[in-house]
Each structure stands twice: as C-alpha cells, then as structure tokens.
Amino acid sequence: MRDIPPKWRDFLMRYYHHSIILIAAGLAIGFMLSTPPAEWLPFGAVAILLFAVLTEMLPVSLLHGGTQVTLGFPIVCTVIAMYGTVPAMAVDSLPTLLAGVLLNRSYPLRHRLRWGLFNAAQSAISAGTAGVVYYSISTSASALLTVQTLLALTLAAAVYLVVNALLVSVAGALYNREPLPNIWQHSLRIVMPPYILVMPLSILLILLLRAYHVAGFALVAVPFLAARECFRQRIQQIRNYRETIRALGLLVQHAHPYTSGHLQRAGRMAVSVATRLGVPTRHIELLPEAAALHDLGKVGVDEAVLNKLTRLTDADWQMIRSHPLKGAEVISGIKHIEPVALWIALHHERPDGKGYPFGLKLGEIPIEAHIIAVVDAFDAMVGDNEKGEQRPYRKPKTVPEAIAELQRGAGTQFHPEVVRAFLDALAAGDFGVEHAEHAILVMAQKQAVA
C-alpha cells in the first residue's frame, strides 16, 4: 500500500467506496425481492429501527484514531433472529447513515455524506452476510431461544464482526498506506472485545420482546445505557493512563530540551520498523509510548554528567547505566502498558552481550527493545541537526555516516534484522525523502562493493 502513488490511491479509495455502496444496494434489493413485504416491514422491526437510531447517536469514542463503537450490534443480531435479514440490514445501515451525517459537524457535509454512505453500505453488507449465515443454520425467524438458534446467532455475530472489520480495514489500508493484515488485526482487536461483551444484550432483548413485545424496549433501555456507561468509564480510565504517559514524556523533554523532537521521531520510526518486522499489533501500538519514555530514568541523572565534555569516570558511567532500570521502575506501575517497562529496562542491551544493565545476549532481549535501540541511536546521531537539539557532548553526523554506523554495529551493538528493516524503511521514504535518497545511495554503494 505504501508504494501506491497518491493519485492512484485516491482513485482506488473512490472506486472502493462506490463498489461497497453498489454491492450493498444490490444485496438489499435482492433480499427484498425474494422476501414478501409483510415479512420485512413488521411493526416491531420499525420500533427497533428507532431504538437503533438512538444507540447510534450515543457512540463511545475509543483510543485509536477516532474509532467509535455503539450498542447497535446486539440490536442487529436481535433483528436477524426475530425478523429476518432485510430488517437487520435496514436497522444497521439507516441509523449509521443518519448518525454519520448528523454527528461530527466539524467536517463538511460532502465528507460526512460520503463516509456515511460508505459506513451504511458496509454495515448492510455485514448484516446481510450474517443473516445468510444465521438462516443457513436456523430455518426461520423466531423469538424462541433454542440450542440451534443460539448457535446460529453466535456464528452470525462472529461473521458480522469479521466482515465488518475486513471492509473497514481495506479502506484504512488504502487511506493510511499500511499493510492490510496489520490494519485488519488492529481492527479486530479493537472491535471484538466490546462487541463480545455486549452480545448477551441481544439475548436479553429477544427475551424481553418475546414477553412484552414493543414495551420490552422500556425494560431493555436501562441495561443498554448501563453498558454504554461502563464502556465510557473504562475508555476514560485508559485515556487517563495515556495522559499520564504524555505528562511523563513532557517531564523528560523539560529536563533535557534536546530530546523534544527526538522522542517523537523515534516513536514514528519504531512503529514503521516494527510493522515491517511483523511485531504484534498490540506491541506496535505501545512503541510510541516506549520511545517517548525510554530515557525517563535520565531525569534522575545529574545533568552535568550527561553533558560532560571530558572523560566519564566509573561513577559517572554507573549513574548513566542506572537510567534504564530507573525508568522501567516508574513505568511498571502504570496499567495497560506493562510490556513497555521491560523494553525500557533492556533498550541498552546488545546482541553481543556487552550492553547494560544485565549483559543479555541475542535471543534474550525482546525485539521491541532492539527496535528502540536502533531508532534511538540513528536519530540521536542525525537528529541533532534539528534546531534546538544540539547535544553539547557530540557533533551531529550526516545521514550516510549514521547509516554506516548502524551497518558496522549490526550483529554486535544492534540486532541485524532490525537494522535491515530500519534501512529498508529509510530507503522507502518512511522517514522523509531526503533520508531516503541518502539511504538508497549508501545501500547501492555497499552492494556494488560486495
């Protein structure tokens, strides 16, 4: 996806959007023509549609790029089981379109309508596919809960989530120029947990509608709103942890002003390298925090020692080499980012066993710690050219000099596969066109000599 020119990428995005909308329209028309109107326009389904609109207008924002979840998913599953595929497609797509147009008023109407239509279409396709799966197992729509209907409902819900995540991931891969498998895995990891937790609400809704008909909505509103509030509080709790991390990052920057741009660049580089190496998505998401906080322990190190121009004493080295464990100790108390503490503690370890604080060797060090070591070293060497980031104890290197330094240290100071992935990302332009030109030239010269 990264190699697609912007012009072609925009064309593919528009083509993909239009294709999804046309496919959804075709499925809807096909299902409607094959189903008598009396079966897909019952009064109960219309009432559920109104309830679904309410849930779509009360989304909960997640922590990932503005992603939002609503409690409409269990309602769609309920409609599939009780009324059929066509009502489920309507209940899923129409509120999605309405919410997409009415919410997010900061975007132009054309933008909201475009994405609203796309999201409505992919919702309809997901619901339609789930309906096909449900009725391939359960022969008819019913409010009766049997082993067969529960199995059908579970499989239909799983198919819905997978198809929904896939359709959204293709759009995300085109838009962000990221590999589709990584985006899809990321989407599933975000969407699956909250939707699995609210799945029992569809069973509750079926039971209440069966017992009280439309009046059952009044009874189910309380658990629906309670579930939404639980989501909101949980997300807010995690968001507070993230704010704590950002505050710690600012602490490092204030203590050592030359690290300001360095920490942000190191985070972006780490994500790119980790993606190329196939690091699990959960860990990729934590790498920006790890990069921002990897030198947190230096806050407790005397500034005079860090900026010393003369030879460091043994006591100086002991103080400097204590910073990974000091930083890890602080981070270890923050929930949701537990792996980061280990990466910070070990980011100065080396494959040849000559690193610190433990002298670990290749195979004993997490790949994420190796990634932080490489991106930290490169940007510390060349990033000093940025205004206000001049380090008093070292002159900045040129990009070719820094690349040569990484190549010399591959296998001893740095993990060779991480260096290779970093140079590939550099040459691909992940870190800027200027860096890419230098990287391509240096790598070409090395191949010519070989």
**Cα dihedral across residues 404, 408, 413, 419: positive or negative:** positive
Indicate whether 163 belongs to any domain. yes
Cα separation, 14 vs 115, whole angstroms: 11
Cα separation, 134 vs 130, whole angstroms: 6
Element counts in the chain: helices (H) and strands (E): 19, 2
- What DSSP state is assigned to residue 395? P
Long-range contacts of 280-285 (CB under 8 A, 24+ apart): 281/182, 281/185, 281/186, 281/189, 282/189, 283/339, 283/368, 284/182, 285/64, 285/186
CATH assignment at residue 439: 1.10.3210.10
Of 211, 240, 269, which marks where a domain is finished?
Answer: 240
Of 194, 210, 240, which marks where a domain is finished?
Answer: 240
Are residues 262 and 174 located together in one domain of the fold?
A: no
Cα separation, 422 vs 385, whole angstroms: 20
- Which secondary structure element, helix H or strand E, spans residue 69, and what is its range? strand 68-69
Indicate whether 132 belongs to any domain. yes
Partnered with residue 60 across adjacent β-strands are 69
Are residues 118 and 15 located together in one domain of the fold?
A: yes
Q: To which residue do tokens 């505050």 refer?
A: 247
CATH assignment at residue 140: 1.10.1760.20
Are residues 167 and 212 located together in one domain of the fold?
A: yes
Indicate whether 1 belongs to any domain. no
Indicate whether 402 belongs to any domain. yes
Peptide bond into 357 cis (omega under 30): yes
Residue 40: what pLDDT? 46
Are residues 398 and 307 located together in one domain of the fold?
A: yes
Are residues 229 and 264 located together in one domain of the fold?
A: no
Are residues 49 and 164 located together in one domain of the fold?
A: yes
Are residues 268 and 215 located together in one domain of the fold?
A: no
Are residues 227 and 275 located together in one domain of the fold?
A: no
Of 216, 240, 264, which marks where a domain is finished?
Answer: 240
Are residues 381 and 298 located together in one domain of the fold?
A: yes
Number of domains comprising the chain: 2
Indicate whether 411 belongs to any domain. yes
Are residues 203 and 298 located together in one domain of the fold?
A: no
Indicate whether 344 belongs to any domain. yes
The per-residue pLDDT string of the chain (450 residues; one tens digit each, 9 = 90 and over) reads 555 555 556 667 676 766 777 777 777 667 666 655 545 455 455 556 666 666 665 665 555 545 566 667 888 888 888 888 888 888 888 888 877 777 777 778 887 888 888 888 988 999 999 999 999 998 776 666 788 888 999 999 999 988 988 888 888 777 766 667 767 776 777 667 767 777 788 888 888 877 777 666 667 777 777 777 777 777 777 777 777 777 777 777 666 655 566 777 888 889 889 988 988 877 888 898 888 888 888 777 766 666 666 777 778 778 878 889 988 888 887 777 778 999 999 999 999 999 999 999 999 999 999 999 999 899 888 865 544 455 555 567 788 888 989 999 999 999 999 999 999 888 877 776 455 555 565 555 555 444
- 260-277 and 367-382 are packed helices; what angle lies between their axes, rounded to 10 degrees? 140
Are residues 220 and 263 located together in one domain of the fold?
A: no
Are residues 211 and 260 located together in one domain of the fold?
A: no
Q: How far apart are the first and last CA of the chain?
A: 31
Indicate whether 247 belongs to any domain. no
Indicate whether 383 belongs to any domain. yes
Q: Domain range spanning residue 372?
A: 256-449
Residue 38: what pLDDT? 47
